[in-house]
Amino acid sequence: MLTQETARKWIDLFIEQILENKDYLSELDTAIGDGDHGNNLARGANALTEALQTKNPETLPDLLKVTGMTLVSKVGGASGPLLGSAFIGMAKASQDSDDLATVLEAGLEGIQKRGKAVAGEKTMVDEWIPVVEAVKSKTLTSAFIEETVEKTKDIKATKGRASYLGDRSIGHIDPGAMSSSYLFKTMMEAGVYDE
């Protein structure tokens, strides 16, 4: 169930997961980008911890909004503003709905409005699109989350920094898809998604 309480647990677990996997995410980004993805998100995770402590947002829309604004303003690189836009989109949608699929779909729209990526360009969108569909059809599992990240290996990047590599981007996992997979796994762990 999507509530302020489960979402707070979700964000706390996501912060933990990012900090734990910071080096791995940067390693993935070293292969097809500039090697800063883990560091970018870790900066965001630390800023988030502080923002949530000082602002202590008490409603679901406020919580999602503080999260989004912090990621947009504190994270360098493409991923912060993109993930931040997702949370800002989710914050707006959560004012009128507590349906997870609806709220996540608004998050995906936020990413796509900002970054203009569509399916099949080897970005975090390739993680978000199948996961949103699986939430809609109530078929999401953590195995599915892992499979979709793995599938980004086969894609040739045509958006973002990895697109400079062309065919050489094939065979590598997209770092942003991996960090989004942490977002969705912690979403399940926190009980935001009803299995």
Nearer to ligand ADP, 67 or 79 (CB): 79
CA atoms within 13 A on the CB side of 38: 17
Closest-CA residue to 86 (of 105, 59, 60) = 105
Q: What's the CA gap between 24 and 47, in Å, rounded? A: 20
Binding ligand ADP (rule: CB under 6 A), the pick from 11, 15, 45, 82 is 82
Using CB under 5 A as the binding rule, the residues of this chain from 1 to 60 that contact Mg ion are 29, 33-34, 36-37
Quick check: 44 binds ligand ADP (CB under 6 A)? Answer: no
Binding ligand ADP (rule: CB under 6 A), the pick from 6, 7, 13, 33 is 33
| Residue span binding ligand ADP (CB under 6 A) among the ranges 45-53, 63-71, 99-107, 154-162 | 154-162
- What is the CB neighbour count within 10 angstroms for residue 189? 15
Kindly state the tokens that stand for 11. Answer: 């964000």
Kindly state the tokens that stand for 40. Answer: 């970018």
Q: Name the phi and psi angles at 36, rounded to 5.
A: -115, 5
Using CB under 6 A as the binding rule, the residues of this chain from 105 to 134 that contact ligand ADP are 111, 115-117, 123-125
* Contacting residues toward Mg ion, per CB under 5 A: 29, 33-34, 36-37
